[in-house]
Structure 1
Amino acid sequence: MVRLFITTASHPPAVARGLPIELECDANTTVADVKALIAAKFPRFYPARQKLSMKNDRAGLADEKKIIDVLGEKGEELQVKDLGPQVSWRTVFLVEYGGPLLIHPLFYHLPQLWYGQDVQHSTLQKFVYGFVLLHFLKREFETIFVHRFSHGTMPLRNIFKNSAHYHLLSGLALAYDVYRPKFSATSSYITGTIREDKNFLWICTGIWAFAQLSNLSTHLTLRALRPANSRVRAIPYGYGFTLMSCPNYFFESLAWAVICVMTGSLAAGVFAVVSTGQMVLWAVKKHKNYKKEFGKEYPRGRYAMIPFIL
């Protein structure tokens, strides 16, 4: 048996006033099992709120690690930190993408409320409205049925920060800009220009649909690599992955670039730049992690996100 002493670096959290405690574990006990034992004594201190680490070490221990491999047979003191109230990543994504799905119909169908006048929607506005709703409905579908998350939860307070990007930029700012009278069917910005040319609009639609379907395809490939309820990582192959480590980000950026070209909207441009910039950072980090984890097995010649450039 391994004897563990569970302490805290400072005062015990409000959800576990009885700390420190002593636990006994067998050779097969994992970090996740220890968290469950702590939660059994302090029900409000559920496992997702806990971060277990070695004494005086900030790095958290992976849930799948066996205690005996980490500490040895004699056991040792472990410190637990309260990460605060948690919310599942699935819920976070549903809230993030749900914002634009509510905001865009409000601006599109109630122009009097925002602009003080009715708006005769142009074909361009109708296309963009459809693109936005379909994009975020797709993201909600993927969140429920496709994505598998390596981390189950995140701090509840972060949901507001994460949602602001979508609710403010692709929600309020984009909706207010593209459904206003400037883009209406009677506006000089639209009439007599390429923005009312049906050939132009349908070409843009084709590129946008290609990007969206390609993005979905890469998400399905990534799903197939990870068994349910696991953190297994493997090298992705197939459509899109021949040239890029993160083709899903490339295709999503392409879809938003199409909306920028179609509309010339400042709000669309700002959102596209901000979101693409964030995806570039994620892609570079994932690309480096792939090469570090798989070494020589990882295909040479792949770019992080943009073929032949980045």
Structure 2
Amino acid sequence: MSSKSITLIIKPRGNPIRNLPDETAILLSDSGAELHKQIAKASQTSIHRLRITKGSDNSVVANSKDVSIESTGLRDRSSIVIKDLGPQISWQTVFIIEYIGPILIHPLLYFLRPYVYGTNLPPSTLQTISCILVTLHFVKRELETLFIHRFSLATMPFRNVFKNSAHYWLVSGLLMAWFTYAPNGPTQKSQEDVFGGLALTQIGLFLYTIGELGNLSNHLTLRNLRSSGSTERGIPQGLGFNLVTCPNYMFETISWLGMFCVNRSWSTVVFIVLAVAQMAAWAKKKERRYRKEFGSKYEKKKYGMIPGLF
């Protein structure tokens, strides 16, 4: 690979970046990560706020150590376009904010039932179980975020945290909790008197346990594919990966179906439908990425997350 030094012409796009230089010198053998580092240092801007594209075709110059300047097609006096993506927030922080919503909302409505609903009825067994299961699910997610998940992207635009959090705070949080702990809801009744009875509750607990443990196993598998601080990807193998692209989404769905069997609330169905639709789109996108990235090494999957369906 050539060690020749070239000069790149810098053009800004969007919001102006103070101290952005007009040009920069870099070796053809240097990486895209080095280019991002140079521009960030010169402009005194966070590296995560920068988006660098080629002036010729608008293709992205990746912030990666594995991409060389020469491989991007940039040559001496080529132009690059720099865009300020705005304030950023780490993906880990976003996940923590998302999941803390249901963790706070469910116990709050459960314990404050007399004040929220104006009822003196004590919580039923089903309401108690529902509160425990939802809280444990999202506590598990928080712990996975802190100790298991590794993120290929360090940050996202800060403005997106509100959109991302709405799904969890409003749907799995406020909507689900409101109807689960309501004194006139199905969970207020004795589990022997409500539709499905004790048997459905037991089935729900079984599905919930299988779903949570399977999902945790998949997350550990995905973690072990990537070393700390690295963005390289491997082909996942293990529980469920021979059936679908993303068995972690399959087990997530099983867990929430178990939750529905316990609380029998239409609000849980709303969350499941929205969540499954989003996970199905993510699974389809990941399948395309695996096929493109690994080629013949990857065993193509017909289904993204649920065998026989999608």
What TM-score comes out, normalization by structure 1 length?
Answer: 0.91
Pairing 1:9–2:39 present:
no
Q: 1:266 and 1:111, CA in 2 relative to 1: closer, same or farther beyond 3 A?
A: same
Tell me if structure 2 keeps the 8 A contact 1:185–1:191. Answer: no
In 1: Cα distance, 2:108 partner to 2:140 partner: 20
Matched residue SS, 1:61: coil
Cα drift, residue 95 of structure 1: 0.4
In 2: Cα distance, 1:257 partner to 1:145 partner: 26
Matched residue SS, 2:89: strand
Cα drift, residue 183 of structure 1: 4.1
Which residue among 156, 174, 182 is the counterpart of 1:180? 182
Cα drift, residue 106 of structure 1: 1.0
Cα drift, residue 2 of structure 1: 1.5
Question: What is the one-letter code of the residue matched to 2:276?
Answer: T
In 2: Cα distance, 1:85 partner to 1:231 partner: 22
Question: What is the one-letter code of the residue matched to 2:209?
Answer: A
Question: What is the one-letter code of the residue matched to 2:116?
Answer: W
Q: 1:300 and 1:57, CA in 2 relative to 1: closer, same or farther beyond 3 A?
A: closer
In 2: Cα distance, 1:18 partner to 1:301 partner: 49
1:171 aligns with 173
2:20 aligns with 19
2:295 aligns with 295
Deviations 1:209-233 (A, max 9, x none): 1110000000100111112222212
Matched residue SS, 1:181: coil
Tell me if structure 2 keeps the 8 A contact 1:146–1:223. Answer: yes
Tell me if structure 1 keeps the 8 A contact 2:51–2:82. Answer: yes
More displaced 10-residue stretch of structure 1: 289-298 or 152-161? 289-298
Which residue among 136, 139, 142 is the counterpart of 1:140? 142
Matched residue SS, 1:236: coil
In 1: Cα distance, 2:155 partner to 2:301 partner: 34
Q: 1:215 and 1:186, CA in 2 relative to 1: closer, same or farther beyond 3 A?
A: closer
2:213 aligns with 213
Tell me if structure 2 keeps the 8 A contact 1:183–1:190. Answer: no
In 2: Cα distance, 1:97 partner to 1:304 partner: 24
Matched residue SS, 2:224: helix
Cα drift, residue 190 of structure 1: 5.0
1:229 aligns with 229
Tell me if structure 2 keeps the 8 A contact 1:246–1:305. Answer: yes
Cα drift, residue 56 of structure 1: 4.9
Deviations 1:32-51 (A, max 9, x none): 222222222222x2110000
In structure 2, the gaps of 5 or more residues are none
2:31 aligns with 30
Mapping for residues 75-154 of structure 1, pairs under 5 Å: 75-154=77-156
Pairing 1:39–2:36 present:
no
In 1: Cα distance, 2:146 partner to 2:284 partner: 27
Q: 1:174 and 1:185, CA in 2 relative to 1: closer, same or farther beyond 3 A?
A: closer
In structure 1, the gaps of 5 or more residues are none
1:284 aligns with 284
Question: What is the one-letter code of the residue matched to 1:276?
Answer: V
Deviations 1:90-133 (A, max 9, x none): 01100000111111111010012321123311111111111101
Question: What is the one-letter code of the residue matched to 1:28?
Answer: S
Matched residue SS, 1:59: coil
Q: 1:184 and 1:262, CA in 2 relative to 1: closer, same or farther beyond 3 A?
A: closer
Tell me if structure 2 keeps the 8 A contact 1:123–1:196. Answer: no
Pairing 1:246–2:246 present:
yes
Matched residue SS, 2:184: helix
In 2: Cα distance, 1:167 partner to 1:119 partner: 26
1:263 aligns with 263
In 2: Cα distance, 1:214 partner to 1:119 partner: 37
Question: What is the one-letter code of the residue matched to 1:244?
Answer: V
